[in-house]
């Protein structure tokens, strides 16, 4: 069993991943708020080729507000759980939704993204790297390793 294995709510989509997380972030963008139905999305970044998706997923593609870059958001068509995002802005990287992991307690967010659209009832952790809007060049370079 990989450390970053996970499942959707109904169990028909299974994610298998043995990679070390490259990073983890809380994203407060409006798209993540809508997709998760919550204040932010916590994602774990891994090399895309290190993730195996078992079961059928559906994909909804969003377009970045600032960048115009597409993000392919995969979810379970049976129960609707978001499982994985593949942003074209960061080719070769996959963003696993932390809440689907078998053990989400291992996740350590290092960054708060899109704090400019954070909800007033959630205080982003200012000790972490914070970006008002999308990821900066510096953060993209960090993610790319
Ligand atoms: Zn499901
Ligand atoms: Zn987001």
Q: Residue 13: nearest ligand to its CA?
A: 1
User: For 39-92, how does the pLDDT look when each residue is reduced to its tens digit (9 = 90+)?
Assistant: 999 999 999 999 999 999 999 999 988 888 999 999 999 999 999 999 999 999
User: For 104-139, how does the pLDDT look when each residue is reduced to its tens digit (9 = 90+)?
Assistant: 999 999 999 999 999 999 999 999 999 998 877 767
4 contacts 48 by C-beta, under 8 angstroms:
no
129, β-bridge pairs:
111
84 CA distance to ligand 1 centroid (A)? 13
Q: Residue 57: nearest ligand to its CA?
A: 1
30 CA distance to ligand 2 centroid (A)? 7
45 CA distance to ligand 1 centroid (A)? 21
pTM of the model: 0.93
Residue with more model confidence, 137 or 31 = 31
What pLDDT does residue 12 have? Answer: 98
DSSP string, the chain: --TT-EE-SSSS-EEEE-SPPSEEEEE--HHHHHHHTSS-EEEEEEEGGGEEEES--EEEEEE-TTT--EEEEEE-TTT--EEEEEETTSTTEEEEEGGGBS-GGG----EEE-GGG--TTS---TTSEE-SSS--HHHHHHHH-
């Amino acid at each position: 069993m990989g450390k970053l294995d996970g499942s959707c709510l109904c169990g028909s989509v299974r994610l298998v991943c043995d990679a070390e997380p490259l990073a983890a972030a809380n994203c407060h963008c409006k798209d993540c708020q809508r997709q998760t139905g919550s204040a932010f999305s916590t994602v774990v970044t891994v090399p895309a080729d290190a993730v195996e998706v078992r079961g059928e997923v559906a994909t909804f593609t969003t377009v970045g507000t600032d960048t115009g870059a597409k993000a392919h958001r995969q979810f379970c068509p049976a129960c609707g759980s978001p499982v994985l995002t593949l942003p074209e802005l960061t080719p070769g990287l996959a963003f696993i939704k932390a809440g689907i992991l078998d053990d989400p307690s291992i996740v350590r967010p290092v960054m708060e993204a899109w704090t400019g659209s954070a909800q007033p009832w959630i205080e982003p952790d200012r000790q972490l790297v914070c970006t008002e809007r999308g990821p900066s060049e510096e953060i993209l370079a960090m993610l790319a390793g």
